[in-house]
Amino acid sequence: MKTIQFREAIQQAMSEEMRKDDTIYLMGEEVAEYNGAYKASKGMLDEFGPERVIDTPISELGFSGIGIGSAMNGNRPIIEFMTFNFALVGIDQIINNAAKMRQMSGGQFNIPIVFRGPTGSAGQLAATHSQAFESWFANCPGLKVIVPSNPYDAKGLLKAAIRDDDPVIFMESEQMYGDKGEVPEEEYIIPIGVADIKREGTDVTIVSFGKIIKEAYKAADELEKDGISCEIIDLRTVRPLDYEAIYKSVKKTNRLVILEEAWPFGNVATEITYQVQENAFDYLDAPIIKINTADTPAPYSPELLKNWLPNSEDVVKAVKKVLYK
């Protein structure tokens, strides 16, 4: 095992796959000459050249469409968005072409493409640069959506995404690129659609994903001081979603709290809540609680942002509520 940063895990996954398959290329704003906006493609231009590591104009609709067209012609593009907020400019290509082309062509065209970049808030970036769109993309049939929370998961899942024959939305975080974690030096793949129990527990299940899961870890440490044992599930993939892992845990703990960095209306937590009450209702000893951002655009003010985002205190309160404490 070697300790590396999240950005290095992303770079290693892309580079290792590109060395094996010359149909794979990386395209996006500042991915080449600048080594990536967050240095997640550092050194790749030098190794693979400008035909496979391609800087683009500021035109997400254009280079998303180019990537989809090249995927239809036998390539396996990796399209980087400087932030998924900018993916809204190219969402017509993602939703109407990437997600639907296999069905509309009667299976004649697979679209093996990865759209990757940071999601969610990243400090004081204000309303239009702090949005979490995981549930938007997960809502669309034909797309797979991955949101890793650490370097190990990021590398294994990105390699799986690049090898997948369907379009994959791979969502990172600007606030995680510097995070460090142990990653095997030998090759490994993490299958898409398999959640991971990050912490075993008996009293309550906490489900989360992406960078916000760190608040669940903080809360679990605090709750442990009061003798409360939390089981934490990292979804890793939100489409397809590993419902069975959640059901199994809820049947053990009988309580569920869901932590998600997203607006409260119609998100991933809402879907999980419905599925658990449909398929594991008799095992619940308390209503499910979901924790989300405030139902407003993200504020710029640091104090307002602190109150807008979910935090460990919110998780502690929710866990105590489902335990009637």
Catalytic residues: 60, 129
- Cα 310 from Cα 131, distance rounded (Å): 14
- 93, with CB counted inside 10 A (0-12, 13-18, 19+), is buried
* Residues with Cβ within 8 Å of residue 288, at least 6 apart in sequence: 256, 257, 258, 273, 276, 277, 322
Unique residue bearing structure tokens 């999601």:
119
Q: Do the beta carbons of residue 187 and residue 206 sit within 8 Å?
A: no
CA torsion 173→174→180→186, rounded to 10°?
60
- Cα 158 from Cα 35, distance rounded (Å): 18
Q: In what order do the strands lie in the sheet with 204-208?
A: 196-199, 230-234, 204-208, 256-259, 289-291
- Cα 276 from Cα 246, distance rounded (Å): 8
**Helix or strand run (H / E) with residue 206:** strand 204-208
- Cα 272 from Cα 138, distance rounded (Å): 13
> In the chain, count of helices (H) and strands (E)?
12, 14
CA torsion 41→47→50→51, rounded to 10°?
-110
Amino acid at 237: T
